[in-house]
Amino acid sequence: MAGNGLPSLGRVKLTDLVPSEGVPSDSYKLSVSTLSQSFAQYSAAIIQFPASDGALLRSGLDSAHLYFQQKAAYPPEELIHTNDSREWCKTSGYYADPQLWQETYDYRPGLTPTDPINGMEFPPGGLPDIFSLLGKAARDVLDAISYYLNLRSSPFTEILDNVPLRSREISSSVLSVCCHARPSFPGAQHNNLTTPDDGQLIMVPDHEHQVDKSLISVVKSDKAGFHVRDFQGRWILLDGDLGPQEAVVYPGLALYQATAGYVNPALHRTETNNMSGNMYGKCSLVFKLMPKSMTSLSCSEMRAAGHGVEAQFQLPIPVDDFMQRSHPTDQLFNRNTFPSFSYPLAHDGSMKPLMRRRKNNTRCKPLPPSKRLRLEAQRVLKERVQEIADKKGIKLRFCNLKECENHIHALDSPCANIRMEIGWPHGVPFVHPHDLPNKAKIGFLEAYEPGWTATHDMDLSLTEPAQTSQQYCN
């Protein structure tokens, strides 16, 4: 990552992400910045729980080991199935997927019984407490992302489950206790496996990667092997050095849709190497914060905050339809995501990124009028361009400088339709505010800032004498 990005996966304390009344603390703003930057670069981050919560997660994984170890080597046929999108909010209890060499026990409050099944089989222990712990953490992460995007407090409350659930309500969110590559599970005979000379079992999955349809997912594993693809296309091992109080958190497709594509979902995969001699396989606790099935995913909160919303996100999508659709991943990761910058904390407590300032040096000469003109024109240009686009609900498409100059007079250029829709001044390049020629900047200011030349004729006379003289004649 060039520039001032994070050198490694971001780590934040969960206690620093808990919002409080009044002005946000410096630790909160710094934690939000680290979390958001990590999402932008790596599509994931690491959250650190208090020590007591780490003990609860450890006991949950130990209970998972015992639960799957006592399962039959060949489960009943009705418990063997693959993921069915039509049943996304109804999964509960044990099921197995031999193709992925994976077993899962889903705990869904309101649907999953907490008592022993048939008086004989005990479910993994501590699931209600773990569900509550990870659910609270996922909501805190979601609120932190909302703060970073300058959305109002708790903007996704309407699409989330009630806390606590009301009478006869069934949770949309789910806690999955997963076990990969248990040696006694028959997936070893049905999956694509190779056995090298050293005896290691290496899983070659039918589907190289997966994307969760959640808003936020939290994963705690007992062994390394969880990979996420970063923004450069590299696969990053996330849980190789996790401490007992740490877990991985990453965004899903529902958050991508609800934020108009500003937050990219994580592309992840699980590898099960070096499983020879391991009697338990790889166990993990996976919590998925899901939207309610009877609600819709819309970008109204993003519009209200002044963010541009592209055409594909304009119409609300019913959650149930969204969950049953297929989402090609090759179209999701060629987009701009979070702004990839780090920033100092503003004095007013806002999260607006501050421009890098030159080092203060009293011996430096003042900027010449021509330089001040260019900086002022660039600043006003950026503000006005974004303001106009936001009012019209248009997400700007930035050309590079060469394209920008070539597209001025072209009617069939990629940005011609947007230029026409936004009412862009004829002859002004669209939209490359960084290196526009002075004449283009002045032309924009004359079109959208009435009286601008009258108050800056001194600067203009020093930078564009010919144009200024022509304006006076006119």
Segment 75-132, tens digit of pLDDT? 666 565 655 556 788 889 888 887 778 899 999 999 988 766 555 678 899 999 999 9
pLDDT > 90 in the chain, percent: 44
Residue 357 within any structural domain of the chain? no
**Position 334 confidence tier, pLDDT thresholds 50, 70, 90:** very low
CATH code of the domain covering residue 297: 2.60.120.330
Which of 252, 248, 210 minimizes the C-alpha distance to 83?
A: 210
390 and 435 share one domain: yes
DSSP state letters, 338-404 = S-----PPPTTS--PPPPPPPPP-TTSPPPPHHHHHHHHHHHHHHHHHHHHHHHTT----PPPHHHH
Note whether 316 and 297 are within 8 A (CB): yes
Residue 245 within any structural domain of the chain? yes
320 and 393 share one domain: no
**CA 15 to chain CA centroid, nearest Å:** 20
Cα angle: 172, vertex 173, 176; to 5 degrees: 125
280 and 376 share one domain: no
β pairing state of 317-318 and 296-297: antiparallel
Taking residues 214-236, report their average pLDDT: 93
Q: How many CB atoms lie within 10 A of CB 226?
A: 25
- What's residue 122's pLDDT? 82
174 and 268 share one domain: yes
268 and 404 share one domain: no
Q: Per the structure, how many domains does the chain have? A: 2
What burial class does residue 439 get, using C-beta atoms within 10 Å of its C-beta: 0-12 exposed, 13-18 middle, 19+ buried?
A: middle
Taking residues 182-211, report their average pLDDT: 52
Whether the predicted pLDDT of 466 surpasses 60: no
Whether the predicted pLDDT of 233 surpasses 80: yes
163 and 237 share one domain: yes
Distance CA 136, CA 14 (A): 10
299 and 439 share one domain: no
pLDDT tens track for 129-145: 999 999 999 999 999 99
**Position 281 confidence tier, pLDDT thresholds 50, 70, 90:** confident
pLDDT tens track for 249-265: 999 999 999 999 999 99
92 and 239 share one domain: yes
179 and 321 share one domain: yes
Residue 173 within any structural domain of the chain? yes
Distance CA 34, CA 12 (A): 7
- The two tokens of residue 64 are 């998972």
Please tell me the pTM assigned to this model.
Answer: 0.68
What burial class does residue 357 get, using C-beta atoms within 10 Å of its C-beta: 0-12 exposed, 13-18 middle, 19+ buried?
A: exposed
- The two tokens of residue 115 are 């008592």
- What's residue 277's pLDDT? 55
Residue 2 within any structural domain of the chain? no
- Which of 334, 360, 382 corresponds to the end of one domain? 334
Q: What's the full length of the chain, in residues?
A: 474
CA distance to 74, 112, 114, 314, per residue, from 121 (Å): 16, 14, 11, 48
Residue 356 within any structural domain of the chain? no
Residue 355 within any structural domain of the chain? no
Distance CA 251, CA 211 (A): 9
471 vs 16, more confident? 16
pLDDT tens track for 339-388: 443 334 444 444 444 333 333 444 444 545 555 665 666 666 666 666 77
- Which of 309, 334, 359 corresponds to the end of one domain? 334
Name residue, tokens 């190497």. Answer: 273
Taking residues 170-192, report their average pLDDT: 76
Residue 454 within any structural domain of the chain? yes
Taking residues 230-239, report their average pLDDT: 91
296 and 409 share one domain: no
Residue 200 within any structural domain of the chain? no
410 and 289 share one domain: no
Give me the domain span that covers residue 154. 11-110+124-188+207-334
Distance CA 271, CA 452 (A): 61
101 and 250 share one domain: yes
DSSP state of 151: P
In 3-state terms, the chain is what percent helix, strand and coil (to 5)? 35, 15, 50
**Average pLDDT of the residues of the chain:** 75
